[in-house]
Amino acid sequence: MGVVTRVNGPLVQVSGLSEAAMYDLVDLGPDRIPGEIVGIRRDGATVQAYEYTGGLAPGQPAAALGVPLSARLGPHLLGGVFDGLLRPLTGAATWLGPRSVNVAGDQEWRFTPLAAEGDHTEPGTPVGRLDDAGALPYLLLSPGGQVTAVRAEGRLPIGAAVATVGGDQVGVTTSWPVRRPRPFGDRLGETVPLITGQRVVDLLLPVARGGTAAVPGGFGTGKTVLLQQIAKWCDADVVVYVGCGERGNEMADVVQELSELTDPRTGGPLARRTVVIANTSNMPMMAREASIYTGVTVAEHFRDMGYHAVVIADSTSRWAEARREFASRSGALPAEEGYPADLASALAAFYERAGLVRALGGAAGSVTIIGAVSPPGGDLTEPVTTLTQRFARSLWSLDRDLAYARHYPAVSWTESFARDGDALAAWHVRDGRAAWATQRARTASLLAEADRIAALAEIVGTGALPAHERVVLLGGRLIREGLLRQSALSPADAFSAPDRTTALSGAVLDVIDHCLDLAAGGTPITAIEEHDYSPLLRAREQPAARVPGLRDQVLAALR
């Protein structure tokens, strides 16, 4: 038992914790405020508190728990809303006040055994299944060894043990240190895209399943809306949405929309396969820092069952700011703009936990990490943005001019990149879209050429340009408005399947190529520019099967 000697905001000095180790949890004061040891000196330990420390005073007791900060993982996660320490926010009024990191519930689930007494199980293989824990079967995994006891089929509460394997009990819930990556068998070399349903992403800037993506953008450029669209429509089995330092009204909108949106897989609420970690800007700063690790740990937990999980972190800038605030209080050596010197290694360790792997039980699972970055003043040269670009496989940079022009998603095709685009072309070929790579390259080339010509037209005027270049300008507008622009509020356009995206992009490119042929053949450029392209622009509202008909309609009118 130790004693509090000094309180400086979330930083607490404690003496007398002789047996404590780094990163051990500590209960502070009579209210048992949770904290974590972040420094040990000869005269005591430095503890970062995860709660408001008002009322905590020198002389009050402090007790080390002997375990690091851990997440309680179990069937209660799917469909739940939690704080940064994975404590349920549903019914929070029942535990406000004295509380610990792990909070018990009174839920029950229907258990089905998958192993029998006497079976020998490998680590990571399921010994049981809970069928009503969410939209997905929840698997209880073996630590490995001989099964000496197993529960019969029936309903179980959250604290029950379901089997004894190798002398260890397998419970309905388990605990894992959030800062320690969960083990797996090996990484898989296969490259498969994460289908987001957003055309600008899936066509120009794809991210691989098990990959990483960063979304930098200033205030008002649509980061949260884009991430919410990905959370709603991406083809992941489990979505872990981490609201790290965001506004409370935005998190409330996320929770409400997920509960109202119908899951296309099951027909039920999409929330039944999501986990929301809501650590808003008015919550404790150090819990915000921990929420990122908590979200990745939850995703790894479902990855080990053979599911594909996506972590959406909104935003990693607030996480970095929490680390900066703590570093300034603890006296750590500051680096650029006051951020701690270990920010680069912390970001690398976070994104490194993504991957497509073979779990210990043999099933293939993945964790894909998509992190928003909120640079102050939209400055994309600030440390968090520049460091994140080193580790992310895809960068979806949001452009303020596109957002102000009401072009959403406002992803800049000139300032973004996707390192896995070429590798994903082989998957599209195997899936029946042999033209995907050609369309992607052609679209990117036309956009770049249109941007170059637009800059020139601002100087000399559009009328001074040759017919070919004026058609390229027209083609860039058709691509932007008919292909890349997408409405999150339109039921027909909010999600674009790969076949629909490919059909729409092929239609737009066919029309552009035909216009280039007409211009080369002497057709007056004014006739080409004044043609009614509205059917093609409306094609984004049409099913994939109807897009070729609209393309043919426009081509026939051009002829």
Task: Note whether 2-69 and 186-418 share their fold.
Answer: no
pLDDT value of position 92: 55
Q: Which fold has domain 103-175?
A: OB fold (Dihydrolipoamide Acetyltransferase, E2P) (2.40.50)
Closest Cα partner for 291 from 269, 312, 266? 312
**Length of the chain counted residue by residue:** 559
d(CA 384, CA 77): 30
Name the superfamily (CATH) of residues 186-418.
Answer: P-loop containing nucleotide triphosphate hydrolases (3.40.50.300)
In SS3 terms, 276-300 reads as EEEECCCCCHHHHHHHHHHHHHHHH
Domain boundaries, the chain: 2-69, 103-175, 186-418, 436-558
d(CA 366, CA 302): 9
**What is the pTM for the complete model shown?**
0.93
pLDDT value of position 94: 47
pLDDT value of position 95: 44
H-type alpha helices, 169-247: 199, 223-233
- Two structure tokens written together for 287: 């819990």
End-to-end CA, the chain: 87
pLDDT value of position 257: 81
Burial of residue 154 (number of CB atoms within 10 Å: 0-12, 13-18, 19+): exposed
Q: Which fold has domain 436-558?
A: 1.10.1140
What does each C-alpha distance from 100 to 88, 158, 296 come to in angstroms?
12, 17, 21
Burial of residue 90 (number of CB atoms within 10 Å: 0-12, 13-18, 19+): exposed
d(CA 515, CA 441): 19
HSE toward the beta carbon, residue 200, CA cutoff 13 A = 27
DSSP string, 201-223: IIIIS--BTT-EEEEE--TTS-H
Q: What residues contact residue 266 under an 8 Å CB cut-off, 6+ apart?
A: 135, 272, 273
pLDDT value of position 292: 94
C-alpha torsion sign, points 452, 454, 458, 462: positive
Instruction: Give the class (CATH, top level) of 2-69.
Output: mainly beta
Angle between helices 547-558 and 498-520 (to 10 degrees): 10
Mean pLDDT in each 10-residue stretch from start to end of the chain (559 residues)?
90 88 91 90 88 91 92 92 88 48 68 93 94 89 93 90 92 93 93 95 96 93 89 92 85 83 78 90 84 96 96 92 87 87 94 96 95 89 94 95 92 94 93 94 96 93 92 94 89 89 93 93 90 85 81 81
